[in-house]
Amino acid sequence: MPDFSIGVDLGGTNLRIAAVSAEGQLLEKVTLGTKVILGRDQVINEMCDAIQRLSAKYKATGRLLGAGIGIPGIIDMQTGMLRKSANLPGWEEYPVRAEIERRLGAPVVLENDANVAALGEQWLGAARGVPNVAAVTLGTGIGGGIVLAGKIWHGMNGMAGEFGHVTVEPEGRPCGCGNHGCAEQYASATAIMRMAREAIASGEAPSLAQAASSDPEFGARSIYNLAIQGDEHARRIFRSFGRYLGILLAGLINVLNLDMFVIGGGVSSAWDAFAPNMFEELRERSLVYAATAPTDPLSSDARGKEGAAAQTESRTERKTIITRALLGSDAGLYGAARVAVSAG
Amino acid sequence: MPDFSIGVDLGGTNLRIAAVSAEGQLLEKVTLGTKVILGRDQVINEMCDAIQRLSAKYKATGRLLGAGIGIPGIIDMQTGMLRKSANLPGWEEYPVRAEIERRLGAPVVLENDANVAALGEQWLGAARGVPNVAAVTLGTGIGGGIVLAGKIWHGMNGMAGEFGHVTVEPEGRPCGCGNHGCAEQYASATAIMRMAREAIASGEAPSLAQAASSDPEFGARSIYNLAIQGDEHARRIFRSFGRYLGILLAGLINVLNLDMFVIGGGVSSAWDAFAPNMFEELRERSLVYAATAPTDPLSSDARGKEGAAAQTESRTERKTIITRALLGSDAGLYGAARVAVSAG
């Protein structure tokens, strides 16, 4: 019955396609094990087949409003081509959108994966009903998306939201982007593993060394598990993580003064391990946050300074909310479906 | 004949009032020596008198579209009161807008001074015709304003654009805002003087020491004059200035991907002393800038890396422009006149 759109999440591991009603109801979700490694043409074939199958099924009862595809990479919104994508070799310099549109016989929107994740959370997730929001996706790297007045903010040519490459430590670690001290060198799964390796190599973190040698799947999650069990070396890693994430967010808050910042991605599940240090940095480093922070449930120390600030600012109703994403990996799927509708 | 609006620039030194046509033509500008130190009521009296005088004169030939007032401080856009202003003691907790409106019998817009400066440059200055722009005002501190789609971006409650308090050095110098390592501790007139004092105190900058003792008006401008004469200690100060301004701008470009960043304020006249280092940081620290930079007239070293990037990105027409403000101290006056029109 309902009008619907198709959302596609073209991730590094799975290809997922969903039919979503215009009201945000999931009608059907298909997860294909298609590995990106099989190559561009195979992926596009399977994607188009699935889109057509879902469309045909739900067209019986409603109108197809469009299709949106979330892609990891920088997209040229005008040409519908990938400008840059580390995870999709062979997709650059290829008319991705035109080819998919040709096969489907329908208009398609290509969109950066972090942007659709932000839009998904804004449409149906943690930021539902919040007009201005940024999403920070903590995974292998850091992704970012900005939604202003309910629409993705692309910037001049689709490159806005590169939060992972904001400098947080001027003389810091080199990054693949050519900079050094980028946020994603300090607050990502990769950064957690790097810090663990360094701690192990220093010989001063025997608990991490033991876990690394006994756990065949030793990774960021293992280090988180050690941290919540009180392991000091693991906790130190997440304190540093929280500190640098806080520095990044403090800058974003000072610049953008948005209503909400949504923290998602796989590493956001380690929230309790990094959030206290993140909030500590925010209070210190963002005068905007200090003036607009809600009473912080994480903060047990009711400091005089904060009390006074809260009083002075009591006439300001609006608060800066930093919160966890709600939709997990579905955020991008919903956002892709949404972007097809708003563009259509 | 033309419809017009009134713009007011309530600076720390002068109070300036202008009548500006809707097309951006200056009809008349009045500069009053009124010192803010004389107090709120005196300033408001003189301001309202001047506004009324100008309005009466040009109402004979055109329609008054509104009045806008640029104020140094954080303004509560809803209540029209100052939330915080370091330079206007006694103005907080006072119904500024309501009082001025009562006296004028007309609606008035209060706006942050850095925001109106950004809007002024976007309307009639360096960013004329550029929809999305940020202005960085380098003075005693650093002010910031963001214009998106031709309108000031206020954020959630008018606090957006606090560029001066973005952390650029995590373990850096303490700032009055409670943070340490804020951009304005490294790239402002205050920062230039602090670095000069430190160099003099170290005993290793005899040229600066001599200038300081012989020049009764020794200040940021004196240090700039030494720098362009080749004094190595003075040049080092501006290199550091450019570096940190570059770190700040690189972050803004990565996050916002705007068409243009306009550098204004008194210290922007030292452009040739700090810009080379600023651009160096931008190229290294912003992948967005690297992908969208115009051929840089400042860069005499035609590096292979940049050449390749320029080629790859040649299909992208739009460039990230970093440029100097054009309107000087009039930017805020024009912007204040403009904001009155767009709001009216």
Residues 258-277 of A with CB under 8 A from B: 258-259
How far away is chain A from the Cα of B195, in angstroms, using its nearest Cα? Answer: 18
- The pLDDT of residue B296: 58
Q: How far is A321 from chain B (nearest CA, A)?
A: 11
Q: Which helix (H) or strand (E) holds B27?
A: strand B26-32
Shortest Cα distance, chain A CAs vs residue B249, angstroms: 10
Torsion of CA A139, A144, A148, A150, to 10 degrees: -40
**What pLDDT, on a 0 to 100 scale, did the predictor assign at position B39?**
85
Q: Does B135 touch chain A (CB under 8 A)?
A: no
Crossing angle of helices B220-228 and B232-256, rounded to 10°: 110
Distance CA A164, CA A186 (A): 9
Partners of residue A148 in chain B, C-beta under 8 Å: 148, 153
Q: Nearest residue of A to residue B143 by CA position?
A: A255
- List CB contacts (< 8 A) between A258 and chain B: 155-156
Q: At what angle do helices B113-124 and B331-343 cross, to 10 degrees?
A: 90
Q: Which residues in chain A are contacts of B155 at CB distance < 8 A?
A: 132, 256-258, 288
- Model confidence pLDDT, tens digit, residues A26-54: 999 999 886 777 888 999 999 999 999 99
**What residues does A264 pair with on adjacent strands?**
A137
Alpha carbon B76 to its chain centroid, in Å, reads 20
What residues 200-239 of chain A have any CB closer than 8 A to a CB of chain B?
none
Nearest to B100 by CA among B74, B71, B120, B72: B71
**B299 touches A at CB < 8 Å:** no
Residue B304 has pLDDT above 50, yes or no: no
Q: What is the dihedral of CA B279, B282, B284, B288, to 10 degrees?
A: -140
Beta bridge partners of A70: A9, A111
Q: How confident is the model at residue A298 (pLDDT cuts 50, 70, 90)?
A: low
Contacts with B84 from chain A: Cβ below 8 Å: 291
Of A281 and A296, the one with more pLDDT? A281
* Alpha helices (H) in chain A, listed in sequence order: 40-59, 96-104, 113-124, 189-201, 206-214, 220-228, 232-256, 271-285, 287-292, 304-312, 330-343
| Residues B121, B128: Cα–Cα separation, whole Å | 7
A234 with A223: CB under 8 angstroms? Answer: yes
Q: Would you call B254 an interface residue with chain A, using a CB distance cutoff of 8 Å?
A: yes
Strands A74-76 and B133-138 come out as unpaired
Residue B314 touches chain A, beta carbons under 8 Å? no
Cα torsion angle, B211, B212, B217, B218, sign = positive
Mutate to test the interface with A, among B287, B303, B311 (most CBs of A within 10 A): B287
Q: What percent of chain B has pLDDT over 90?
A: 75
Decide if B135 contacts B248 (C-beta within 8 A): no
Pick from B54, B39, B37: nearest CA to B333: B54
Lowest mean pLDDT among A298-302, B284-288, B333-337: A298-302
**Integer CA distances (angstroms), A315 to A230, A254, A319, B149, in order:** 41, 20, 11, 30
pLDDT at residue B255, as a whole number: 98
A313 pLDDT more than 90: no
- Asked if A154 reaches chain B (Cβ–Cβ under 8 Å), the answer is yes
Smallest Cβ distance to B287: which of A160, A170, A178? A178
Q: How many CB pairs under 8 A join A and B?
A: 147
| Average pLDDT of the segment spanning A281-307 | 71
- In angstroms, rounded to a whole number, what is the distance separating the alpha carbons of residues A331 and A67? 15
Mean pLDDT, chain A, integer:
90
- Closest to A9 in 3D by CA, of A87, A63, A76, A61: A87
Of A83, A255, A315, Cβ closest to residue B252: A255
How far is the C-alpha of B248 from the C-alpha of A134, rounded, in Å?
19
Cross-chain CB nearest to B167 (options A148, A153, A250): A250
Chain B CB contacts of A184 under 8 Å are none
Can you list the alpha helix ranges (DSSP code H) found in chain B?
40-59, 96-104, 113-124, 189-201, 206-214, 220-228, 232-256, 271-285, 287-292, 304-312, 331-343
* pLDDT tens-digit map of B86-112: 778 888 888 999 999 998 888 899 999
Secondary structure string (H, E, C) spanning B215-281: CCCCCHHHHHHHHHCCCHHHHHHHHHHHHHHHHHHHHHHHHHCCCEEEEECHHHHHHHHHHHHHHHH
Interface of B with A in 39-68 (CB under 8 A): none
pLDDT the model gives residue B299: 43
pLDDT of A130 above 70? yes
Q: At residue B314, does pLDDT exceed 60?
A: no
Query: Does residue A152 sit at the B interface (CB-CB below 8 Å)?
Result: no
Q: Which of A146, A153, A255 sits opposite B162 (nearest CB)?
A: A255
The single-letter code of the amino acid at B115 is N
- pTM here is 0.92
The domains located in chain A, with CATH, are 4-125+329-343 (3.30.420.40), 138-324 (3.30.420.40)
Predicted pLDDT at A344 = 40
Q: What is the pLDDT of residue A290?
A: 95
- Residue B117 Cα, gap to closest chain A Cα (Å): 16
Q: For residue A178, list chain B residues with Cβ-Cβ distance below 8 A.
A: 284, 287, 290
**Does residue B83 belong to the interface with chain A, where contact is any CB pair within 8 Å?**
yes
Q: Which residues of B touch A320 (CB under 8 A)?
A: 156
Nearest CA in chain A to B161: A255
CA distances from B237 to A45, B205, B213, B232 (A): 59, 11, 18, 9
Rg (CA), chain A: 21
pLDDT at A307: 40
Closest to A223 measured CA to CA, from A213, A239, A208: A208
Mean pLDDT of B171-185: 96
φ, ψ dihedrals at B265, nearest 5°: 90, 165
Q: Answer whether B31's CB lies under 8 Å from B43's CB.
A: no
CA distances (Å), origin A245, targets A257, A281, B338 = 17, 9, 38
Q: Under an 8 A CB cutoff, do B155 and A165 touch? A: no
Asked whether residue A314 carries a pLDDT value surpassing 70, the answer given is no
d(CA B216, CA B112): 33
Short-list B201, B74, B242, CA closest to A316:
B74
Q: Using one digit for the tens of pLDDT, what is the confidence trace for B248-275?
A: 999 999 999 999 999 999 999 999 999 9
The CA R_g of chain B, rounded to the nearest whole Å, is 21
Which residues of chain B lie closer than 8 angstroms to A132, CB-CB?
A: 155-156
pLDDT for the residue B308: 41
Q: How large is the ipTM?
A: 0.91
pLDDT tens sequence across B18-67 = 999 999 999 999 998 867 778 889 999 999 999 999 999 999 889 999 99
Chain B interface includes A310 (CB < 8 A): no
Determine the pLDDT at residue A1.
62
Q: Is A329 on the interface with B (CB under 8 A)?
A: no
Question: Could you give phi then psi for residue A30, rounded to 5 degrees?
Answer: -115, 130
Residue B309 has pLDDT above 70, yes or no: no
> Nearest by CB to B284, which of A83, A155, A179?
A179
Which residue is listed with tokens 């009862």?
A61
Distance in Å, alpha carbon of A60 to nearest chain B alpha carbon: 41
